[in-house]
Amino acid sequence: MLSLRRTVLSSALLFALQLLPSTDANSATNTLAAEPTATVVQALTQQNQDALTYANYTEVSVSHVELALAIDFKQNRLSGEATLDLAWHKPGKQLILDTRDLTITSVTALNSTVKWQSLPFTLAKADAVKGAALTIKLADEDTQKVKIKYHTSNNPSGIQWLTPEQTQGKQLPFMFSQSQAIHARSWIPLQDTPAVRQTYSATITADKAITVVMSADRKTLSSTQTQFTMPQAIPAYLIAIAAGHLKFSPLDNISGIWAEPEILDKANKEFADTPEMIKIAAKRYGDYRWGRYDLLILPPSFPFGGMENPRLSFITPTVIAGDKSLVSLIAHELAHSWSGNLVTNATWRDLWLNEGFTTYVENRIMEDLYGRDRALMEQTIGYSELLAELAELTPGDSVLHIDLGKRSPDEAFSGVPYVKGQLFLIFLEQKFGRERFDAFVKSYFNHFAFQSITTAQFREYLSLNLLNKYPNVVSEAEVDTWIEGQGLPSFLVPPNSHAFDDIDAQRQTWLDGKLSASELKTSTWTVHQWLRFINEMPRVNLDQAKLAELNKAFHFTGTGNSEIAFAWYSLALDNGYYAVLPALKQHLTHIGRMRLIVPLYQKLASTDQYDWAKSVYLKARSGYHPQTQASLDMMFADKPLEHEHSH
């Protein structure tokens, strides 16, 4: 259920990118095939290193991050200190960390006489994609702890600060982080690469009316202080924080919902099946290893559908439809507890290992819980969306093991790692049979548990434990086509739900004028069937009168289901049906989830509605997340935009 979120690089950004060193860490070849059990840092060769970090992590890696931060809603700022524990792999006296827009006030290290000693540091000139390297000169080899005092900028890429008016309750401000892919560095100085795993702890201070949550075990210390502990080693992009007027409502003894009180009950009902999802996933893929699994419902400006922060998935409120029709998102974020959080992509080129496996596992959970029909409908919709997206992508970006070049992972984000990755795994499942494939996936999660791995390491494991174990079922060449090839393999058997046959037939009957919209037999249609009905409508030259007839019969404009709204407004804009504009304006100004708004802005911006779209954007902009702002700023960058602060 993804569609395109492609943006165009501004010339300023392109210019900045040319200043990057030209080392190419994106070669497709690898040399680690012989060492399947090696730990990440040992196994990473030059070619497999993360090109998006400045950290010298093959020499020294951070093993624990201890945060002591104050949340200041007056200045919209986090300030305090990060203390990093270091593990040395080679003798050295230099530590390079990632930062973006951070102000560093001091660096100290614990020396051999167990005293904190002040250290010289330099903050390099910032790069548009990677931020600024913080280089710390250590006095001693084998330094164990470094403490950095710092504060964040007024618009860090990884945090959104909301005014009380932008929340449900309108009384208290709100803030939340979104660290994936490389935005943790905008609120913590650290080694911002998924190749490095660390435990973390935090003591957070905030006003007593504010409740703070993180992706960690939570303990209230006092009315203004909360303590957090994450005892399992995780990559930096999974460190997460949110604060605001939050209340908790349990689902069972290991899961529950954090949300603003105004939406807590609705969320609790919508996501009541979460405990069952956890049981289903754990039964098939091995124990749930993170203790609790809670959901945090964010304000509507949350830029994603969901984010798999460990112990606490961050969830957009736009999936609260009232009928559980969009809960595959919960299955998805939960599935990341195995694919992503337990076994992690070592670089952002390997994102498909996270998202492809997760989309596959998500769909298996949906099948177990709601039946094969629903799961197959969701697969079929995802496949159609992928086809539409592939038509727009450059061939290079249709490769699972993508070459990011000098781009940020945000720039290259698409449905390819999700749906093509899922289709690859479904292909393997069908070839080897569920019994063998399920056993393989479970053993893969256990084998690489708490490790970060590259595509090469996955392939090695696949060859040993599936291809060679059951010979002559799938060839290395076929695997190669899936992982390194462009587009979709010629031997793919696309998913095809027959629950859509009747929908397609009725749509055609209506298009042919044989029945009016109100005469169609729609009373049993599910949300997915409605999505199919809308999504496969002609994208050009559908009469205004026909669209008006549809809307009169089915009341799509202003619908409370955000996916149907998105599908309908997309159809309307493709056919120039501008009667939707007032309702569309509501949609665009009340939701900040990029997948539901950026493609609509894109359609508007490429037509005579450009000025209208830009004026809506200028009004909505201050309510959007910095990452949403960044991608829309580029779309409307013809003349300078007027806004309070730029990102």
Q: Indicate which of Zn ion, ligand BES, none lies near residue 76 (CB less than 5 to 8 Å, by partner kind).
A: none
3-state secondary structure of 71: strand
Positions in the binding site for ligand BES (CB under 6 A): 1-2, 180-181, 304-308, 329, 332-333, 336, 355, 413, 418, 595
Which residue of the chain is nearest ligand BES when measured via CB?
305
Q: What is the DSSP string of 101-149?
A: SPEEEEEEEE-TTS-EEE--EEEPPPBTTTBEEEEEE-SSTT--EEEEE
Which residue, 143 or 309, is less far from ligand BES as judged by CB? 309
Which residues, numbered 326-355, are part of the site for Zn ion (CB under 5 A)? 355
Which residue, 189 or 382, is less far from ligand BES as judged by CB? 382
Q: Indicate which of ligand BES, Zn ion, none lies near residue 305 (CB less than 5 to 8 Å, by partner kind).
A: ligand BES
| Binding-site residue set | 332, 336, 355
Which residue, 48 or 344, is less far from ligand BES as judged by CB? 344
Q: Residue 454 corresponds to which tokens in the numbers above?
A: 């590259």
* H/E element, 482: helix 476-484
Q: What is the DSSP string of 178-226?
A: --TTTTGGGTS-B---TT-EEEEEEEEE--TT-EEEESSEEEE-SSSEE
Q: Indicate which of ligand BES, Zn ion, none lies near residue 335 (CB less than 5 to 8 Å, by partner kind).
A: none
3-state secondary structure of 306: strand
Which residue, 311 or 332, is less far from ligand BES as judged by CB? 332
Q: Give the chain's radius of gyration (CA, Å).
A: 24
Q: Which residues contact 634 (CB under 8 A, 6 or more apart)?
A: 7, 8, 9, 10, 13
Minimum gap (Å) between residue 358 Cβ and ligand BES:
6
Q: Are 50 and 25 in contact (CB under 8 A)?
A: yes
Minimum gap (Å) between residue 178 Cβ and ligand BES:
7
Minimum gap (Å) between residue 412 Cβ and ligand BES:
10
Minimum gap (Å) between residue 646 Cβ and Zn ion:
29
Q: Indicate which of ligand BES, Zn ion, none lies near residue 349 (CB less than 5 to 8 Å, by partner kind).
A: none
Which residue, 131 or 305, is less far from ligand BES as judged by CB? 305
Which residue, 255 or 363, is less far from ligand BES as judged by CB? 363
Residues belonging to the chain: 647
Minimum gap (Å) between residue 645 Cβ and ligand BES:
23
Catalytic residue among 54, 293, 418, 617: 418
| Binding-site residue set for Zn(2+) | 332, 336, 355
Minimum gap (Å) between residue 224 Cβ and ligand BES:
31
The distance between the two most distant Cα atoms of the chain, rounded to a whole number of Å, is 88
Torsion over CA of 56, 57, 58 and 61, rounded to 10 degrees? 130
Applying CB under 5 A, the site for Zn ion has a residue count of 2
Phi, psi at 417, each rounded to 5°: -60, -30
Q: Indicate which of ligand BES, Zn ion, none lies near residue 357 (CB less than 5 to 8 Å, by partner kind).
A: none
* Count of helix runs (H) and strand runs (E) in the chain: 19, 22
For residue 325, how many C-alpha atoms fall within 13 Å in the half-sphere facing its CB? Answer: 17
Q: Indicate which of Zn ion, ligand BES, none lies near residue 633 (CB less than 5 to 8 Å, by partner kind).
A: none
Which residue, 351 or 534, is less far from ligand BES as judged by CB? 351
Of 29-37, 225-233, 357-365, 429-437, which segment contacts Zn ion by CB under 5 A?
Answer: 357-365
3-state secondary structure of 326: coil
Quick one: DSSP state of residue 495?
-
Is 333 catalytic? The answer is: yes
Q: How many CB atoms lie within 10 A of CB 428?
A: 22
Q: Exposed e or buried b for every residue in 47-71, given b needs 16+ CB within 10 A?
A: bbbbbbbbbbbbebbbebbbbbbbb
For residue 358, how many C-alpha atoms fall within 13 Å in the half-sphere facing its CB? Answer: 31
Q: Are 278 and 601 in contact (CB under 8 A)?
A: no
Minimum gap (Å) between residue 561 Cβ and ligand BES:
15
Q: Are 158 and 179 in contact (CB under 8 A)?
A: yes
Q: Residue 185 corresponds to which tokens in the numbers above?
A: 């560095």
Catalytic residue among 260, 333, 378, 460: 333
Residue ranges in contact with Zn ion by CB under 5 A: 355, 358
Active site residues: 333, 418
